Structure 1
Amino acid sequence: MKQNPDFPGSGIPVFLLMSLLVLAISCKKPDDSKNNPKTLASVSTSPVTNIGEYSAVGGGNVTKTGNDNVTARGVCWSTSPEPNLMDPHTTDGTGSGVFSSNLINLIPGTPYYVRAYATNNQGTAYGAQVQFTSEGNNTLPQLSTSQPANVTVNTADLGGHISSAGTSPVTDRGICWALFANPTIQDNKISCGSDTGSFTATITSLASNTPYFTRAYATNLSGTAYGNEIQFTTGGGTGTSCPGMATFVDTRDGQVYPTVQIGSQCWMKKNLNIGSVIEIHVDQDPTTYQKWCYGNVSGNCDIYGGLYQWDEIMQGSTQIGIQGICPDGWHIPTDGEFATLTYYLGGYDQSGEKMKEAGFIHWDPPNTGANDSSGFSALPGGYRYSAADSLTYGIRQYGYFWTSSGTQGNVVWVRLFSFNTGVQERTALFHLDGGSLRCIKNQ
């Protein structure tokens, strides 16, 4: 045979070589990964049957394996929608097909959500969600509120007793309290664990001489239950009510003021709050009763009393110790009367903490040193600053209290209580500024 010039010495015809090459190409194995990619499995969730108080039967059907091995399948359930493998679940074999699952440790009378699942190397697929409710009644915990104990000026021991957890375990328990009836866990609260039986907690930073409402609470999967409501009142420090006059009514507007006896003096225990409300940028008319409410918010007057200019509280007079805007039988304290009070309580360095209301209900932290042992219960109503566009500043931080004693010109002595010191300060405000007022009873 004549040799192929293109392949010297091969002795193989060209057409034969070409045929072998075509055959080799045509016999190459196809790439299955391109034609049959691996995906998550497909699974459906079966209806739940045989529902009891504590168990039920569910299941599913793995209809497609996703071109991969299904290594686990089952159902998962929860009291919240879209349960997953982080929730209670079963493992019911491998592979495709129909399977059955036993749901256990259910809570009677509780709605549940169920989904079947199937896991392969690509991840976990879930079926559609179905719902059912276990048989029986789901009940809240039963509990009572304990009588407050060891009530002081600003603390109290509160507690409760859980006699029954209900149809599911107690997940939280504790005490809630407020200045109004029917307090809830949305108000002030402290948690005391998650068991039944008795529990107590010491509540701190309460306001002195103040009525509070409290209830014990306990939570299970059914919700939150509350014990009976109990009212208690914190102590008022060493200062007691004025003899024969725990409170008095201002007949001009019907407002009620508690009193406190400190040494030989009888003081208002609340800031004065008489007068019609006007805008803070408008000066007050000393021929009538007018007041500012901090930030032009009337609710601030209900808590901290009104803010007044000096001419307003003096009703146009400059006489020291005048009745001014105070009720009959009371007058505006002089600088000297404030000095008597201050030194009775140990001087400026010590008296501030003894006169400030304790806690953080009305004061910003840290409310340094405040214990209100005197019962004066000074409040931080802020002030109106006439030199800065007549705006109000410092509520919950500073309380400026007028005296009837001028210094010189248009400046007047005041007493200042601050959130960041226990010292009472003797300082001054201008006539057109705004401060708070405590009246003192005539002797």
Structure 2
Amino acid sequence: MKKIFQLFCIIILLISCLSCEKKEVPTVKTVKAIFNDNEISIEATGKIVSYGGADVLSYGICMNQSNNPTIADTKVEYNGVGVSSFTGKFSDLEINATYYVRAYAVNSEGTGYGEVLEIKTSIKALVTTKEASAVGLDSATLNGSVNPNNLLSEVWIEYGETTSYGSKVIIANFNGSAEIPVKVKLTSLAAGKVYYFVVKVKNELGEISGSQMSFETYGLKDIDGNLYHTVVINGRVWTKENLKTTHFNDGTSILNKTANADWSAVTGTAEPAYCYYDNNEANKNVFGVLYNWYAASNQNIAPVGWHVPTADELEELIFYLGGQYVAGGKMKTTGTSIWESPNTDATNSSGFSAIPAGVRGDRLDNQLGAFGDLYTDAAFWSCSEYNSSGRFMFVSYNTAFVQTRMLVSKSYGHSLRLIKDQ
């Protein structure tokens, strides 16, 4: 009987031991870690695979920059039980640095860790191409900025007359995390040409380009230093802006007639004269200068190698652009910011860029030398005359029609465009 009792106790003890679960540290998996370059943050995900036979007291993600992070390092920690998956987010990190993260969980037996994941806070350099400045006949300054984001970076600017560029200027090697302005002054450029340029950077993350920009060198400078863009139409080179000079090319001043009666009276004196619309010099920058025909027909009004077009040259221009019924639309700048609505059929496809600078002259209501038609009409003198009248070309806001060989008193004030000598 005693032996039976002893055997029974042994069996009970064995069953009890077999039913006891061995306690150990939790089994944890580090699932993933993602770098957010907008926030400069890392978010890692962990998972508790096994509690280890005991309640989990805490869990989370730990991180450092020296590998094998522990709970003694920076961590995101949670308390409690019943959770299998969790995340931890770390912010205010260094740019272009290496971090190590792993998940962990703690129970009464100790701390269990997941796999170590390495992640780099790599951010490409920030590259900006900015507008060119100080553009002249044969020179310009190209501008941009670079933030290397703590990577040693080679910086250069490429430029050329096509989007393939073809020319390169190396600026310097930069480092740090601040925005650094870059610029280069170009000389010996071709006059009257469009150039394209871009700022580029190369570092261990590869090559980065800013946005492409462009500029156009001026094609002409008058004796007063005013600069003009040019355009080629039918093989002839024209200025794209209204003339602004107040001197002939030999340095002689052109008379500035401000009083209406004085302006009208030049018909009897044949004096070359100019004025600003409404006698307001501020209008010069946008609309240029208004000249009477005596100034327009003076061969010294234009720089050497240029001249005011003849009536025949204006006719050739209109014919090339499709004739007088459509050419006006191809010559006018688009939109209604400067032209009065509707600015009919304006496309400026020719690049001539006519603007409504108005006129000055004797009006039908007996106002002598009065200003009018600003924002609605563009009138351009030719150097040709017919009897006592001067010939001019006229473009209006409400039609694509262009009138040529129109006759008007030589005392009228019109705009001037120049054409390059052949």
Q: TM-score, structure 2 length as denominator?
A: 0.44
Structure that is richer in strand per residue: 2
Task: Please give the TM-score of this superposition, normalised by the length of structure 1.
Answer: 0.42
